[in-house]
Structure 1
């Protein structure tokens, strides 16, 4: 269930957010959406893959946290074991909302049913006593703006990938030290052979529009599958 409301100092003066890390707080997810604008930061920690929407045929990029639904191998002892979280995950329980009038500006909304909403008086304050935004909320608002703008701009990236047929499905077999195997299916990545076959003019076209660097970041991120397997094996050792 969700309960999205327009965030206001009048209604949410005493609102606090639990910023810990746990499955119970919403971190028990296998992946989170990411956008080309942040691929450089994301690829430093996570594999970046694409998933195709069966109804629309469009792609979305995901930062992988694990191999199975509900598995996040980056949360340990109540903390994220990385220096960066994808924007779409780090802004929870906040989101961009639309006013009743389509021509109006975007608004900050909050999901009051999200598990990060504090009910015990603990957590990060959203507003000060005088109703001003706290530094925590200011940071969230900045992230929301970046995510909104980057998502709107990502359409051009996927159009370029379609134009040059650069996204291909892949399957990954993941053997683990206990003898079990996971098959990662339903995802896609950059088609390296087709990328290498592009002409100089085609590469220049991608570079001119700012799409070439995100492509390289996706390819670079694939090395983190080795790290992800190591994290999975470490969990097996712990039991």
Structure 2
């Protein structure tokens, strides 16, 4: 578990951030956390699902980036290749943390042991006067905005659950030489139930701005076809012939 320390010019002015550190950080992650405010933009690049957080039990919006754990098909040569870059990548290696001076306040923290930090040339955090660089100022703005987006995502997730719109699915993956695998633990939107909602519920969803991300999640499933192509470009005698999205009994 990371031990975060508060970012300060006194302690960290000699450190820089390794370029493309966000992409390097997620290079071995086949799921990337998203906020509801990102869904419409991310849907053009990756399939989007809900998953359960194993520790908190909360519902988490995630971008699906590979059929193989420990792999991210959207990162190549330490570069993020998709059109949209999730906030989680843009803000790495910084995090929002409880202020050590005031538990009621939040501040920007980092993991001092992170490989994203270096004394070599990179993204500068502070100038010679200890003032935040433009790079760091932009990061702070993103993180502060993300706090509000996190709350919006929680409300969105709760509404989806309350309306019974989640549908558990498995991805049945068939490889050449008749090898197969099944990926589970993924939840998408039940389109049939969404269409059958009473008019007052649909009006409420529209007023809350939830219809757009709901339909974007459904549309994003077509990106599974793109992932098959990416997989087959790098697969070593393990090409995918086809996949099938199946309803799960979970």
Aligned to 1:110: 110
Q: Is this contact kept in 1: 2:47–2:223, CA < 8 A?
A: yes
Q: 2:205 is matched with which residue?
A: 206
TM-score, structure 2 normalization: 0.87
Question: TM-score, normalised on structure 1?
Answer: 0.91
Q: Deviations over 1:151-171 (max 9, x none)?
A: 012222122112210011100
* Counterpart Cα distance in 2 of 1:181 and 1:194: 30
CA spacing shift, 1:180–1:230, aligned 2, 3 Å = farther
Residue in structure 1 matched with residue 148 of structure 2 by the alignment? 149
CA distance in 1 between counterparts of 2:77 and 2:54 reads 37
Distance across 2 between alignment mates of 1:15 and 1:183: 44
Indicate whether 1:92 and 2:92 are aligned.
yes
Structure 1 range deviating more: 83-92 or 73-82: 83-92
Report the Cα offset of residue 176 of structure 1: 3.4
Which runs of structure 1 show a deviation greater than 6 angstroms over 4 or more consecutive aligned residues?
none
How many residue pairs get aligned? The number is: 237
Root-mean-square deviation (CA), in Å? 2.1
Q: Deviations over 1:85-112 (max 9, x none)?
A: 21123211100011132322x1010111
Structure 2 residues not aligned, in runs of 5+: 239-250
Deviation at 1:215, TM superposition (A): 0.5
Q: CA deviation at 1:175?
A: 2.3
Matched residue, 1:221? 220
Q: Deviations over 1:32-86 (max 9, x none)?
A: 1111111111111111011123565431110111122211101112311113221
Structure 2 equivalent of residue 232 of structure 1:
231
Residues 157, 24 of structure 1: alpha-carbon distance in 2 compared, 3 angstrom cutoff: closer
Structure 2 residue aligned with 1:188: 187
The unaligned stretches of length 5 or more in structure 1 are none
CA, structure 1 residues 178+46, in 2 after alignment: closer, same or farther (shift >3 Å)? Answer: farther
Contact 1:35 1:150 in 2 (8 A): yes
Q: Give me the whole-angstrom Cα distance separating, in 2, the residues matched to 1:38 and 1:23.
A: 17
1:114-133 → structure 2 map (5 Å cutoff): 114-119=114-119, 121-133=120-132
Mapped contact 1:33–1:62 kept (Cα < 8 A) = yes
